[in-house]
Amino acid sequence: MINEIKLADLDKGQFIDEKVREISAAVGDGTAINALSGGVDSSAVTMLGHRALGKKLRTVFIQNGLMREGEAGFIKGIFRSLGVEIEIIDARREFLDALKGITDPEKKREAITQTFYKDVFGRIVRESNARHLLQGTILTDVDETVAGIKRQHNVFAQLGIDPQQTFGYQIIEPLIQLRKDGVRAVGKALGLPEEIFARIPFPGPALAARIIGEVTEEKLETVRKATSVVEKMLSGRGAFQYMAILHEDRVTGMRDGKRDFGRQIEVRCWDSVDARTATPTRLPFEVLEKLAADIVEQVPGVVSVTYNITTKPPSTIEAV
């Protein structure tokens, strides 16, 4: 049973001091590693870890080929300005190979989990002799996994999986009592810039959570471009999260007077406090029209754009 700390009860200074002490005590004279994805959770953990361990913490950014456009360089730059050096590890081929031919959503998630924790991370940890992995699991990740809704990529103990036995290292999860709002507050208190602590959530399986059916390089390119258009257009409107989803079905469209059997992008934009429930944002129709026009213009192969108007539940925030 995890003791939830609600935002209203969170003493940020005390929380940070306590976690820094716990991380130092757990790692002792050893070294630790953490994977920074650039999301709020892993960014907050990176700052906590560096406070606790300094040079004894190695922070890596796994380039899995499933990230947003320009993400690795963007994150490296931000953390450099905070005095934290990030190592970028190119594992694109491994992830794409692992995802080949898989269409089932849970199997896709499982393939990403295994590739990340067992193959890529297992190797890094073995080579570095680190005994601990710091990661930014939050309470919502645990809830949804335990409830059997979605197998979040970063939940183990609650499923009866012992990381030490399975992967060969211990996992430290300093944010597990918090939800997203609490993590943002702690991230801000740790000195993260607003573009990070206020950043919309992004799932561990990254763009693979937004591709229905098999994940291929070509589909990743399409969803990556569409994500870029959607994020540019919908940022600054106060929505909780917004995204582009690439559907597997094709639909007949027309381009330059010719039939074009093309791809469909579904835009989702959510109002939510903690991701447990969510409602679609009532975007002005002109914004939706502009989104559609920009997506079909800027994303090759797309002939149809739709907007999701279903609440969570029964929908979930991501599509996979």
Site residues (vs ligand XMP, CB under 6 A): 141, 144, 150, 152-154, 201, 203-205, 209, 241, 275, 312, 316-318
The smaller minimum CB distance to ligand XMP, of residues 75 and 296, is found at 75
Minimal distance, residue 243 CB to ligand XMP, in Å: 8
Contact assessment for residue 246 and residue 265, using Cβ atoms and an 8 Å cutoff: yes
Biggest alpha carbon distance in the chain?
69
Q: Which residue has the tokens 């590693």?
A: 33
Minimal distance, residue 145 CB to ligand XMP, in Å: 8
Secondary structure of residue 165 in the 3-state scheme: helix
Minimal distance, residue 286 CB to ligand XMP, in Å: 27
Minimal distance, residue 114 CB to ligand XMP, in Å: 13
The smaller minimum CB distance to ligand XMP, of residues 131 and 276, is found at 276
Q: How far apart are CA 105 and CA 151, in angstroms?
A: 10
| Paired residues of 90 in beta bridges | 63
The smaller minimum CB distance to ligand XMP, of residues 228 and 303, is found at 228
The smaller minimum CB distance to ligand XMP, of residues 144 and 266, is found at 144
> DSSP label at 312?
B
Minimal distance, residue 175 CB to ligand XMP, in Å: 11
The smaller minimum CB distance to ligand XMP, of residues 15 and 202, is found at 202
The smaller minimum CB distance to ligand XMP, of residues 163 and 253, is found at 163
The smaller minimum CB distance to ligand XMP, of residues 131 and 247, is found at 247
> DSSP label at 283?
-
Question: What sign does the dihedral 46-109-317-170 (CA atoms) show?
Answer: negative
Minimal distance, residue 253 CB to ligand XMP, in Å: 28
Q: How far apart are CA 153 and CA 113, in angstroms?
A: 5
At position 4, the amino acid (one-letter code) is E
Query: How many other C-beta atoms can be found within 10 angstroms of the C-beta atom of residue 250?
Result: 14
Minimal distance, residue 109 CB to ligand XMP, in Å: 6
Q: How far apart are CA 208 and CA 65, in angstroms?
A: 10
- For 207, counting Cβ atoms within 10 Å of its Cβ (0-12 exposed, 13-18 middle, 19+ buried), the class is buried
